[in-house]
Structure 1
Amino acid sequence: MLILFGTLALLLVIGMPVALALAGASLAFLVLESPIPPVVLMHRMINGVDSFPLLAVPFFILAGSLMNHAGITDRIFDFARALVGWMRGGLGHVNIGASVLFAGMSGAAVADAGGLGTIEIKAMKEGGYDPDFAVGVTAASSTIGPLIPPSLPLVVYGVVSSASIGQLFAAGLVPGVLMAAALMAMVAWYARVRGYGRDAGFAWAVLGRTFRRAFLSLLTPVIIVGGILAGLFTPTEAAIAACAYALVLGGPVYRTLTLRKIGAISRDTVETTAIVLLIVAAAAIFSWILTSNRVTEMVAEAILSQTQNVVLVLLLINVVLLIVGFFMEPVAAITILTPVLLPVVVELGVDPVHFGIMMVLNLMLGLLTPPVGMVLYVLARVADIRFESAVRATAPFLIPLGAVLALVTYVPAISMWLPELIYR
């Protein structure tokens, strides 16, 4: 194991991409320490992505990109502004509300930050808000996306843990709304301290007009989540339906998508999908080595030999996940750590669906922290500020998100109420 983890650490330190570092460390272990021929590496990597539910990944990526380029983000932002822009610190609340609405389409924090973030930060700067506040609230609100269904990290967790993806989607809804409420409370505090006012008066006429303009766009999460919960289609089929609906909206309805745009969107989707699935494949061989060498069993025994107290074990796991999130992509972390940590929490009576929500929320915080912090890199470029400034701007918003993490961890009903109501 020293060879496996030592090689991984060395490759990451010298700047090797996560997928290549995982595959390289696995290959080094097979060559130096295992009688298994190295060709097994290729077979296990292929098996790692040979999964029907993982087909949802490229289609949700494509759907989110189509929504961005079809002008749907503008309609959602305008509706959110009419809905909550009258509150003090209005555009901060609009930022969060738009992220909640867009979460039902993209399922990825980076897509939210890159798509809505451009509109939100520009509007907040023009509205007289401090750049650090604009970047901080945009970064924090983007983490809501992977909790509110659909969610790419939850799809990957469902595949690795064999948990129901439909139940995971249902379980993420209430924690996602709770995150939005906590962030809005933080925005209200900022507004009071910094003297931010209201950006617009509330008007039923404006609300109605923007709602009608965004209505067809807002049906996207209804189609995705409603179809899954009603049993009309699987999460993979829901992703395909979302793409078809986005093409209809951007084509004959809004007339904003051209063949040239669709070609560019398709190329971007292929590139993003290749990166995600290469990480999944490399993490699959890495986790297979850990499992086949009983590392997962040894970790479980080591933790449970120290304490059987579920409160302490969950606290320890949260700390581990937060630290891992500082340095590793969420998809890779989920694929590697789920086989290691899931047996521990199941032994203590924690539901795998509840643990999945807890794990994804932990790793989303990692997107807001250096050195990986992909959301911070995206928003630093969008806002044209230094990466270090984006880190400082986002740090205060980790407080409400951390409070939600604690609640989700120790109050399972927050995650499990909706799945138990619908499925059990």
Structure 2
Amino acid sequence: MCSTQSNAELQPTASDPALILELKTRRPPSLEGRPGCETWSVDFSPDGAWFAWSMGHGIVWVVAWPLDSEECQDGGVDRGDKSFSCGHPVWGLAFGPRPPKASAAWTGCAKPAPKGNNSLLLATGLENGVIKIWNVLTGVAVFDLHGHEGVVRHLAFPRNGTLTLVSSSRDKTLRIWDLAHKGKKVHVLLGHKDWISCCSVSPDCSMIATVGRFDRMVCLWSLRSYTFIRNLTGGDHKTLYLLSSCDFSPDGALLATAAFSGASWWIDLWDPYTAEKLATLVDYFEGYGQNQLSSIQFSPNGLHLSIVTEKRPLCIWEPGKPGMVMQTRADRDSNGLCCNYHPQGGVVATGTRDGHVRFWKAPQTVPNLRHLCRSILRDSVSTHQMEPLPLPKRILEYLTYRDIPDCFTGRRAASDTTWRQT
């Protein structure tokens, strides 16, 4: 089902990241280029030992990480890789936590699993609104979740290890499922007026952020009381735009939202506690026509933000600095749709419209002591708790991320030596 291709032609340069590996699907010629072959979602397991991607036509492929290109090409080594046939196109997927104790309900076996043999869950959101829960280690479908009436666009598990699944759908609803009860306990959150493109759970598991593709709404919800908190407004973009993605920083003090309109795209950084817009990154690719921004994600250390667009496979931005710290060559045939960092960093996986996956070597910057102190502090202290502290103004601005300047790239930064388009 899958083949790997090493990157012999593209060499690392000052402005291009290294393309480590590319996974390509092997499908019948009759299916090539037909709708349904897209890779809408990719994900690494929490421990980084597995990688999953929706390879099109209802198939999800799960491979052991790290990949060995020679072994996968030869196809003669069984590394435990698995494929799951979902029956419908897969739009969203997410690895879940390992349950503390395996049982017949989770392993899909008639008898309880051996003591200490835990399962690993994978949730897949389908085009028909069904969410299928799989046990990766056994390859068995455990149960289905029913309720959504439209495409399940995005799935997310909180980082606290609980069996809670958050799903967003084109039916304008956000649902929170209790998998410990096989989804029989579910909370339905209403508020969006159109499709929900993406959902993200804050690191402290207190909030959920959602973006509406056409209603231009950025909503915050309480994961503790299952209620609506606020809608983030204040955008100064006058033209019609579409929201595509969102992500919390690892310390939870920033929320990044992505939007695009015509030939430009931008990313807004918000303070989720105060609803204050802190900074905006704007980019223009006027020579490429429509340039849709598909996905964004913070790096595990919070220093970088990966960006996937239709015309450039991957860009990586460091908030507070002009231009990009790394970007791939502009590619009219890229059609990037999604991205995901390895939990330990250093690698970013991107999915494309033709069902392929590329793995890029991401910068591994060592965080300075100042950034580490801020991350540790903001992980447990909200902005409202920070502001009353008797701190010098510059330190308080740094701790609340109010020192990040707006950044305009593209043609407006053509003279900047840190920004080079290839």
Please give the TM-score of this superposition, normalised by the length of structure 2. 0.24
Please give the TM-score of this superposition, normalised by the length of structure 1. 0.24
| Greater relative CO (CA pairs within 8 A, separation 6+) | 1
Structure with a larger share of its residues in helix = 1
Structure with a larger share of its residues in strand = 2
